[in-house]
Structure 1
Amino acid sequence: MVAGLSPLLAHGQIFTCKDATGRTVTGDHPMPECADRKIVELSKTGVVKREIPAPLTAEQKRQQQLLEDKRKAETVAEDLRRQQDRALLARYRSEGDIEDSRRYYLSLSQDLVKRDQAMIDDARNQLKAANTEAEFYKNRKTLPAELRNKMDEANRAISANQKSMADHQAEMARINGKYDETLKHYRELVSNMPEAQGGR
């Protein structure tokens, strides 16, 4: 027992800590010297009732807040994931529903690709006609301005629609990738449903 502790214990309880110099400080209530130290509370029989940890430092508080923020963000993300999973199962009743949706959105992009190709073909025909007409002026140093404009417009149309077609083809690849992931996740969700597990 710490020297000088008996008279204090007679009063019911005591608080003790080590101050900055390592000296044991005791009293019947928490002392100012223990404000930034771990405090031990003893019962009247000298048995440790509890330990009061030292207050957190500014850095410890910052780290604690970071951990708390991380836990909250993880909880929010998990809640959102569960909501999205429920929405996925509500939207698609079968793998066939997913494939139907895939085909629908692919068909929209396919129609745009066909339109791009048709416009490219039309512009190429216009360019071909302009080149044929230009044969009549091959002995001249320059072509008529109107004919040059036709050729320039046709080339611009070909270039613009080729870019548009590439964008729509990339969109089709994105759609396929999205629905591949959706189908994979749907299968995982269905396989983890209680009725699916019970049938194994």
Structure 2
Amino acid sequence: MRTRDHGKPTRLLAAASVSLLAGICLCGAVQAQKSEANAGGIYTCTDARGRTLTADRPIADCSDREQRELSPSGLTRRKIEPTYSARELAEREDRAREAALQAAKATDERRRERALLVRYPSAASHERERNDALAQIDAVIVAAQKRIAELSEDRKKIDEEMEFYKSDKSKAPGAMRRKLEDNTQSLAVQNRFVAEQEEEKKRVNARFDEERGRLNALWSPKSGGNTR
């Protein structure tokens, strides 16, 4: 004897109803999204006087500043960049180039500072290199001064030989006159060389003084440096 399941049609009907309801809800949500996407946007911005403006199209009074396009629900769809004149674009490009240049200079300066700190980890190392550089110049000056002393001794001998012709040096033998001219030129060259080396010492000291001023900050305890 077979029994019928009278509850089965009821369950099938209930399941079908749920599926139909879910489909209707999903369709409604999709339609709502499409409607919002197709709806006109709302444009908003803050003008130069600080007023918040809204319109159904891009706002002319805010052409020089950023605007936002909102959906009907108030969400930001997109941001609209300012529109610039040719002069404004050129000025923006100039400012961007200047900012990039300053950033590059700052990067180079930090690189030089790091290199200085590696080369001179302490004040003692910096002063030691200054003294070494000056000592090398002094050695060159001493050699030049020695040559000047030799030329001066030669000059005394030449002057003694020229004593006979002091009233009219043009009557002196050609070889003697050339010796006098060579000695005079050599003395001038050596004296000029010594003067140049003295100027070089000033430049070296100025360079080390400038470096010392920068390094003092790098050696400071706040910078983690070492002043010993």
TM-score (norm 1): 0.74
1:37 touches 1:54 (CA, 8 Å); kept in 2? yes
Shift of 1:115: 1.4
Q: Deviations over 1:15-70 (max 9, x none)?
A: 679xxxxxxx966xx7xxx7x9577745437x796773541111111111111111
Partner Cα separation in structure 1 for residue 127 and residue 225 of structure 2: 23
Out of 171, 175, 196, which is 1:146 matched to?
175
Alpha-carbon spacing, 1:96–1:126, altered in 2? closer, same or farther (3 Å): same
Shift of 1:14: 3.7
Out of 120, 126, 131, which is 1:92 matched to?
120
Percent of pairs with identical residues: 21
Q: Which residue of 2 aligns with 1:193?
A: 223
Q: Which runs of 4+ in 1 moved over 4 A?
A: 36-40, 47-51, 138-141
For the pair 1:13 / 2:47, whether they are aligned, the reply is no
Shift of 1:132: 0.5
Out of 173, 178, 184, which is 2:207 matched to?
178
Q: Secondary structure at the match of 2:83?
A: coil
Out of 157, 160, 169, which is 2:198 matched to?
169
1:12 touches 1:44 (CA, 8 Å); kept in 2? yes
Shift of 1:92: 1.4
Q: Deviations over 1:119-166 (max 9, x none)?
A: 222222212111100113346661110110111001101111111111
Alpha-carbon spacing, 1:26–1:94, altered in 2? closer, same or farther (3 Å): closer
What amino acid does structure 2 have at the position aligned with 1:132? E
Q: Which residue of 2 aligns with 1:133?
A: 161
1:116 touches 1:161 (CA, 8 Å); kept in 2? yes
Q: Secondary structure at the match of 2:171?
A: coil
2:68 touches 2:80 (CA, 8 Å); kept in 1? yes
What amino acid does structure 2 have at the position aligned with 1:13? G
Alpha-carbon spacing, 1:113–1:139, altered in 2? closer, same or farther (3 Å): closer
Structure 1 stretch displaced more, 70-79 or 136-145? 136-145
Q: Which residue of 2 aligns with 1:55?
A: 83
What amino acid does structure 1 have at the position aligned with 2:223? M
What amino acid does structure 2 have at the position aligned with 1:76? A
For the pair 1:76 / 2:104, whether they are aligned, the reply is yes
Q: Which runs of 5+ in 1 are unaligned?
A: 1-8, 18-24
1:130 touches 1:151 (CA, 8 Å); kept in 2? yes
Q: Which has the larger radius of gyration?
A: 2
Q: Which runs of 5+ in 2 are unaligned?
A: 1-35, 45-54
